[in-house]
Structure 1
Amino acid sequence: MSKVIFKYILFLSFLISNASIYGQIDSDRFEVLEYQELETKKSLVKNGDKEALQNYNQLLKCADELLDSKPFSVVHKTGMPPSKDKHDYISIGPYWWPNPDTDDGLPYIRKDGEINPEARNNHTDFVEMRDFLRAIKQLTEAYYLSDKEIYAIRAIDLIKIWFLDAETRMNPNLDYSQSIPGKNDGRCFGIIELDGITDVIKFLELAKDRNLLDVKTEEGMSDWLIAYSDWLKNSELGHEESTRKNNHGTHYDVQLLSILLYLNKKDEVRDYLNSITKARIISQIEPDGSQPLELARTKSFSYSVMNLHGFLELAQIGEKVGVNLWEFESKDGRSIKKGYQFMVPFLIGEKQWEHKQIKDRKSSEKKLLADLVTVKKWFNDTSFDEVLKRVQLNKQ
């Protein structure tokens, strides 16, 4: 384990040992937003924790830069969607490259896990939307930790520009996402690129709770989210993504259900979790906890963690509507918990990861550790306490 991950473990240990502070937070007021991690960071800053203060100062630096930065919009791209409407989002499948066997490079060919730089430039919207969603997340955290309304006001301005203003708004669809030159204009797999919509929803909840969200913006965003969720449920690409049997299907559920929860459609969320999501757990996770479709990828450790994180988010949504996904288990032992138990020996070095992993996995280890803390915090499950303690002791 690296020093960075060890430091993160110390922070996670603080979360566990200070779990009592969470009782002070009225989480029932919120459908999607969770205050716990932000509240802990705020407490560390107030208490003068050196590392927390460094991170806090860096965060405010980034947030201050966003106050005067150029706003984000889909109309800034140099490319043009097949619809000839700049307001439609476009992107290229990241793992698709020019064909070396044809003069024009078409049709593109796939290299799993290897990102084509062409998919990460201003010809498409991917980078612009990634930066926009990151900005909303940073401004949300900066506002919460500092209590400076200027950050929240800036976030509202950026949201209005991206989603609502007539000249700059994004149309509520992803019809042309993750296209493959020479093959198609868009694929269902591009839906995962808007995963960060949950961060926008969390900010909207926070801004409304603090009486900062004006009625026009709130109603406009509700209309946009209704239209987009209808597209997710009824479009050809949305339906196709909902049937994916790997992490794409899982994160489709997270995205759709987070939106429906924000729109107060709890009965629909509850029915979906009890039927489709439970079936997804059974189909994707083996009785031993392995995830075959993720293990088949060139970044198998990373994708295994990514998919489990999505399932954990769904379990958290389930807690909001009375569906216990964390304890759910099939007759032959398939469950989210079993998936995490499968990964633990590889995290603590008891077993060697024998599947393909062409990229560094440190960030995935960090996410896995954070998930184990979330398990305790949300579900009062102490199963992984010894794992966290062991990782910490191994570095002392």
Structure 2
Amino acid sequence: MIRSIIFLFATVFLFSSTTKGQEKFKLLINDEATLKVLKQQFISKSSNEQISRADRALLKRPYSVTFKKTKIAPSGDIHDYLSQAPYWWPDPTKANGEPYIRKDGRRNPEIYKLNDRAQIGDLTAALNDLALGYYLSGEEKYAKKANELLTVFFVDTATRMNPSLTFAQYVPGLNDGRGIGIIETRGLIDIPEAIALLQESKSLKPETVSGVKKWFSAYLTWLTDSANGKSERLEKNNHGTNYDLQVIDFALFLDNKELAKRTLSSITIPRLDVQFDTDGRQPLETARTNSWDYVNMNLDAWMKIAKL
């Protein structure tokens, strides 16, 4: 029953027809009807918390993995994303602490010395606020700022992130990066949403949209073809679900419905029997130290896939 319901919801968009002519971006996660109601509420009110958040986002500087760099990836390229595995700690029995050892649920504060993950998180939060600010108010200043942020992070060759996560969640003394680090870009599903909300604006430049799509196309290829991507695809728990969410979302953003349908039918749907007991429990998540967080993270990914 669960399998049938999720498959039904998840395929509604995939099999829907498209209108020929000028490219139009669809909301993949957010509900357009709900947003229209919120827009009407804003029009009738003199103040709005969402607009306040958008105003604060106007004051933010651009984001890039080339900014605030405290350590460069083994490639030597400042454009490569770098992050350290959160649950790995120095081995007290080793002089230099390496290789690190795993302590599930205990975050090593060393991870916060690297800023690339925060750059992505802050970028998506700001773009979400700006896009909603423009959608609700129609004011170009929000779209103009969003265009700037998109350009710096995804398009400008001086500051753009390389479209890969080869060096994500590395473990000191063990490896240079791991496939499970791919979960750190799950927030990028907010980018297609932002572009859909901004698409009527004259401040969202065609060359920016083209550049962002080019970046996502390269990243999607890396997700599906790289060793790290293939490794993450095989993960059975929330990592696998969030991998599927990204592949399906990015494929739909790029109008690659065939890849989205193939991923959904051959990879995502079979996960249901692996991840859920007949009573709805998620044993792969409840086995973890922070089980509540992982249960909800996995359900959140499933709900978004169903929305797609």
User: Residues 33 and 206 of structure 1 are in contact (CA less than 8 Å); yes or no, is this contact kept in structure 2?
Assistant: no
Question: For residues 169 and 63 of structure 1, what CA distance do their matches in structure 2 show?
Answer: 23
How big is the shift at 1:62?
3.8
Matched, 1:97 2:94: no
1:258 and 1:91 map into 2 onto residues whose CA distance is 23
Q: Is the 8 A contact 2:86 2:107 kept in 1?
A: yes
Contact 2:27 2:197 in 1 (8 A): no
Match for 2:222 among 231, 246, 249?
231
**Sequence identity (%):** 40
Report the equivalent of 2:107. Answer: 115
Q: Give 2:80's match in structure 1, choosing from 71, 83, 88.
A: 88
Aligned residue runs from structure 1 range 1-396, under 5 A = 30=26, 32=28, 34=30, 35-46=32-43, 48=45, 56-57=48-49, 59-76=50-67, 77-121=69-113, 123-317=114-308
Instruction: Write the letter of the residue equivalent to 2:75.
Output: S
Superposition deviation, residue 168 in structure 1: 0.5
| Shift of residue 212, structure 1, vs aligned partner | 4.1
CA deviations over 1:354-393 (Å, ceiling 9, x no partner): xxxxxxxxxxxxxxxxxxxxxxxxxxxxxxxxxxxxxxxx
Quote the Cα distance in structure 2 between the aligned partners of 1:100 and 1:238: 32
Mapped partners of 2:56, 2:27: distance in 1: 30
Q: Contact conserved, 2:234 with 2:240, CA < 8 A, in 1?
A: yes
Aligned to 2:83, the other structure's residue is in SS state strand
Aligned mates of 2:270, 2:237 — CA distance in 1: 12
8 A contact 2:131–2:143 mirrored in 1: yes
Which structure 1 segments of 5+ residues have no match? 1-27, 318-396
- TM-score when normalising by structure 2: 0.85
SS of 2:199's equivalent?
helix
TM-score normalized by structure 1?
0.67
> What does residue 387 of structure 1 align with?
none
The two structures, once aligned, show a CA RMSD in angstroms of: 2.0
Structure 2 unmatched ranges of 5 or more: 1-23
Structure 2 counterpart of 1:274, which letter? S
Shift of 1:227: 0.5
The one-letter amino acid of 2:211's match is: G
Per the TM alignment, residue 190 of structure 1 is displaced from its structure 2 partner at its CA by 0.9
- Say which structure, 1 or 2, has more relative contact order (CA 8 Å, 6+ apart): 2
Deviating beyond 6 angstroms after TM superposition, the runs of 4 or more aligned structure 1 residues are none
1:99/1:60 Cα in 2 relative to 1: closer, same or farther (>3 Å)? Answer: farther
Q: For 2:92 and 2:127, how far apart are their aligned partners in 1?
A: 40
1:355 alignment partner in structure 2: none
CA contact (8 A) 1:96 1:116 kept: yes
Pick the structure with greater CA Rg. Answer: 1
Tell me which residue corresponds to 2:15: none
